[in-house]
Chains A and B, each alone.
Chain A
Amino acid sequence: MNVLFQLQRGDFTLDANFDLPDQGVTALYGRSGCGKTTLLRCMAGLEPRARGQLQIAGQLWQNGAHSIAVHQRALGYVFQEASLFPHLNVQDNLRYGWRRLPAKHRRVEWESTIQLLGLTPLLDRYPDQLSGGQRQRVALGRALLTSPDLLLMDEPLASLDSTSKADILPYLERLHRSLAIPVLYVSHSQEEVLRLADHLVLLEDGAVQAQGPVAEVMARLDLPLAHSPGAQALLTGVVMQQDEADHLTAVSCEGEVIWVSQLSQACGTGVRLSIAARDVAISREPTSNSSVLNCLPVRVDALQPDAQPGHVLVSLKLGGQTLLARITERSRRTLALQQGDAVHALVKGIAVH
């Protein structure tokens, strides 16, 4: 469904228009100050001066200047700071939205949500007795228990230290698999996007710069993402075979086999592999005399000078999927690399999500 919002505040203008898929996680990605949070607040109805168009589950939430009140929208909102009610314990915080919903509208189950988020041992505590990660889990549960038609999350991990982040990410991933509603996830962390998002909307100075499936947008050479130092490409594959002796797992991807450190997932499970552009080397010939395990036949799709002087960014097609490689200009000359060339990608580091 199409989302359109405009808001003028001081010298900042938000004018965003994008497609929100009706399932899966859409990441709203961009630098701080680009208007991600403002756009999310517009969608929630928390910016009274916003103009736009938003229809969720057949209900018109915003139509021009006319908008329905926040409390009449079936939305879940997770703020950057958990924003739990300090005068209520965890149980009552969770029940706050839950009990305001008529029983017949409750689609999310109490028990399973508490369990999914591991909240059972926390129910009697007060917010000031919780760690940052626990608080964010409660906030997430509180939002989910209102059975939302749209879940909005505003950098829920940004204010957490890395331990708390590691504590909550698996819950978010589990959630991702079990929710059948659109989720909009604001983030400025590439790692979170790689792990959680299906779709990506790039925001720059209040306007949408690009949008599409994550793997596609991440690998587009005309966008700044691919040129960032930590640029990554995303491949999707299926767990094929376990090698217990060598502690490796084979993942099948576009008919090729990619070996990764052993995974706990069962055969047949879909996985996402993220591969940094700096961890991919290019060779004209397939090599078997190197320590690199994975040597994939690919085709050069495009080349572009990188932001880093003397370097070239190459996008490589593995079947229908795309890999990125950052190589030096000298190597490109030596290999006489051209668009359309069939080459081999030597892939060193692979992170599995």
Chain B
Amino acid sequence: MFGIAAADWVALQLTLKLATISTLLLLMLCVPLAWWLAFSPRRLKVMVEALVALPLVLPPTVIGFYLLILLGPRGAVGSFLESIGLNHLAFSFTGLVIGSMVYSLPFVVQPLQNAFQSMGTRPLEAAATLRAGPLDRLITVVLPLTRRGFLTAFVLSFAHTLGEFGVLLMIGGSIPGQTQVASIAIYSHVEAMDYSAAHALSLLLLVMAFAMLMAVYALNRRFRLVGVAG
């Protein structure tokens, strides 16, 4: 279909799976982190904020390199996993998930933190005086008031993972069906001088990314609410 080979569809499928899984895991992890950054008193905060923003400025290969060392058979994490009878994570799908989570961290934390900050604590206090318990407040006040932040975080992280190359190549290599994602498949086609295959896959990625961003901006216009577009 669209002149795309079966192997490339597998790569594309893998990309989507990777983006979905790492984005969902990131969202779960980042809600408490962003909440803490938004509302806790300073001190430690500045350091954590700088750490969270680090992936924005580091070359992806640097992140990928350190992760490869850490997750590989000689790294702290990899060797520990092998010592308890599991496999190390270099060149594995799990390794890719961890890599893209690290790489997309700021894209999830920052929109959420901004959304929480612009909401402030007042709506929560008002809800508490109106008999709403903590979970109730989260569902009926926080989520509706910060849904733009959530949407932005989700889409940025997802789209960012679709386009990721350096980190994934370092950790995952290019094993078809396991770690060869679309961006890496494109690179392989170009290396093999197969420009038409590279072209087809590239165009598809471009269209997907554009459609997703359009959807976000359209949704953001519809939400008449507090929230930050990222």
Kindly supply a per-residue 1/0 record for chain B positions 208-228, scoring 1 wherever the CB is within 8 Å of any chain A CB and 0 otherwise. Answer: 000000000000000011100
Q: How far is the CB of A262 from chain B (nearest CB, A)?
A: 42
Q: Which of B109-147 contact A (CB under 8 A)?
A: 122-123, 125-133, 136, 140-141, 144-145
Contact B144 A87 (CB under 8 A): yes
A residues near B127, Cβ cutoff 8 Å: 71, 85, 96
Contact B225 A142 (CB under 8 A): no
The yes or no answer to A158 lying at the interface (CB within 8 A) is no
Among the stretches A75-83, A200-208, A275-283, A294-302, the one at the interface with B is: A75-83
Contact A146 B130 (CB under 8 A): yes
Q: Which of A36-85 contact B (CB under 8 A)?
A: 44, 46, 69-73, 75-77, 79, 81, 83-85
Residue picked from A77, A84, A85, A146, most chain B C-beta under 10 Å: A85
A77–B123 Cα distance when bound, in Å, is 12
B residues near A84, Cβ cutoff 8 Å: 126
Residue in B closest to A76 when the chains form the complex, CB atoms: B129
Q: How far is the CB of B43 from chain A (nearest CB, A)?
A: 16
Contact B126 A83 (CB under 8 A): yes
Q: How far is the CB of B144 from chain A (nearest CB, A)?
A: 5
Contact B132 A77 (CB under 8 A): no
Contact A96 B132 (CB under 8 A): yes
Contact B130 A86 (CB under 8 A): no
Q: Which of B126, B141, B224, B225 contacts A77 (CB 8 A)?
A: B126
Contact B132 A100 (CB under 8 A): yes
B residues near A71, Cβ cutoff 8 Å: 127-133, 136
Contact B130 A83 (CB under 8 A): no
Q: Which of B122, B132, B226 contacts A79 (CB 8 A)?
A: B122
B interface with A by C-beta (< 8 Å): 122-123, 125-133, 136, 140-141, 144-145, 224-226
Instruction: Please name 12 further chain A to chain B contacts, defined as beta carbons within 8 Å, in addition to the given A46-B129, A69-B133, A77-B126, sorted by A numbering.
Output: A46-B128, A71-B128, A72-B131, A75-B129, A76-B129, A79-B125, A85-B127, A85-B141, A85-B145, A87-B224, A143-B130, A146-B131
